[in-house]
Amino acid sequence: MIKKKIKIETQVDKSNPIIISGITRSGKAMMMEIISSFKNVEKSTMNIVMEQSYYLHQIKKIGYEEAIFLLRKSYSVLSSNLIFGRDLNFRKDDYTSIFNFKNPKIYLNRIKQNIKKNKIEHIKKNIHIPLMLHYAASSYYLLIKSFPKIKIIDMNKNPIELAFSWVKKNLGGDHYKNPNVMIPTLNYKNKYLPYYALGWEDKYLKLSKFDRIIASIKFLDEKKKTEIKKLNPAQKKKILKINFDQFVSNKKSIDKLTKFLRLNKTNYTSRVLKKNNCPREIFTKELKNKRKFLKTKLSKKYYNLMIEMEKEYIENYNLK
């Protein structure tokens, strides 16, 4: 008897997901806070189940069908919880806290309200949910197929700034043995490695903890380029590439963002921009000092690679 294959599937949520994507320390938190200040946009959110879904799909631990199901299901639960006032963050210092939202009273009132379930779908159609996803670029096709109404903000930052931040967070060292690390880890030769080291584990281990950082940033950037090449023109239009330096230094950058998202600023937006020191100067003495510091830590090979990456970054975005 031939077994009938039954597809695991769930419907697409009616709300409008806005994904803020980028590698660690690329400016995602700032961008998420700015977007959540816009009209008809919910508070900043994160979802570890969604992240694990595409991580595990990237390293072929779960299939395409299962990944889409988990992405859609976890996002649907997240959007419903926001509307019902469930699973909220009340820690004032967290960027996903309701107290860092333009109007915390909205959520405090939702806790008390008795919203009828038959009205949920209508409410969802009119809201936009900003969601931070780490290392999502290698899964843009999967995300776009999962959410037809998706808009993706792709954050890009100077490799010097990224590398310096990664060094300070010890992301090339024993950081990944911590059980609270948010990404999947590989146990290889009794060492814990980040999931993206799969396939080049021995090379990763042979590198110094500083050279690993440059190799990792380069690897992730190349994976993103490969992923974007797979997208058709209509899918590429769902992605807005944001250059961190251009955005924080140019007052008009916010208009490009609102036009892409088809959303309007609120009075709170200017307050958020000021909080995040926008606009600000770029390519300052501080950046030069970071470059000098990294030169003392990196091997000649990986220092030169970092400089090549910075040159490409500057040329791609016409920075001076």
> Beta strand pairing status for 191-194 and 185-188?
antiparallel
Asked whether residue 10 is assigned to any structural domain, the reply reads no
Asked whether residue 283 is assigned to any structural domain, the reply reads yes
User: Cα(307)–Cα(299) distance, rounded to whole angstroms?
Assistant: 12
pLDDT confidence bin for 120, thresholds 50/70/90: confident
Asked whether residue 6 is assigned to any structural domain, the reply reads no
What string of H, E and C letters represents the secondary structure of the chain? CCCCCCCCCCCCCCCEEEEEEECCCCCHHHHHHHHHCCCCECCCEECHHHHHHHHHHHCCCCCHHHHHHHHHHHHHHHHHHHHHCCCCCCCCCCCCCHHHCCCCHHHHHHHHCCCCHHHHHHHHHCCEEEEEEECCHHHHHHHHHHCCCCEEEEEECCHHHHHHHHHHCCCCCCHHHCCCCCCCEEEECCEEEEHHHCCCHHHHHHCCHHHHHHHHHHHHHHHHHHHHHCCCHHHHCCEEEEEHHHHHHCCCHHHHHHHHHCCCCCHHHHHHHHHCCCCCCCCCHHHHHHHHHHHHHCCHHHHHHHHHHHHHHHHHCCCC
- Per the prediction, the chain carries an average pLDDT of 95
Q: What would the pLDDT profile of 34-44 be if each residue is shown by its tens digit?
A: 999 999 999 99
User: Cα(237)–Cα(244) distance, rounded to whole angstroms?
Assistant: 19
Asked whether residue 99 is assigned to any structural domain, the reply reads yes
- CATH code, 121: 3.40.50
The alpha carbon torsion through 302, 305, 309, 310 (nearest 10 deg) reads 70
Contact 156, 26 (CB under 8 A): yes
The alpha carbon torsion through 259, 262, 267, 268 (nearest 10 deg) reads -100
**Does residue 1 have a pLDDT over 70?**
no
Q: What would the pLDDT profile of 160-202 be if each residue is shown by its tens digit?
A: 999 999 999 999 999 999 999 999 999 999 999 999 999 999 9
Q: What would the pLDDT profile of 304-318 be if each residue is shown by its tens digit?
A: 999 999 999 999 888
**Does residue 320 have a pLDDT over 70?**
no
pLDDT confidence bin for 134, thresholds 50/70/90: very high
CA-wise closest residue to 303 among 221, 220, 210: 210
Q: What would the pLDDT profile of 65-87 be if each residue is shown by its tens digit?
A: 999 999 999 999 999 999 999 99
Residue-number span of the structural domain to which 165 is assigned: 16-316
Domain tally, the chain = 1
Asked whether residue 308 is assigned to any structural domain, the reply reads yes
Asked whether residue 101 is assigned to any structural domain, the reply reads yes
Asked whether residue 306 is assigned to any structural domain, the reply reads yes
The answer to whether the bond into 279 is cis (omega within 30° of 0) is yes
Asked whether residue 5 is assigned to any structural domain, the reply reads no
Enter the pTM of the model: 0.95
Q: What would the pLDDT profile of 228-259 be if each residue is shown by its tens digit?
A: 999 999 999 999 999 999 999 999 999 999 99
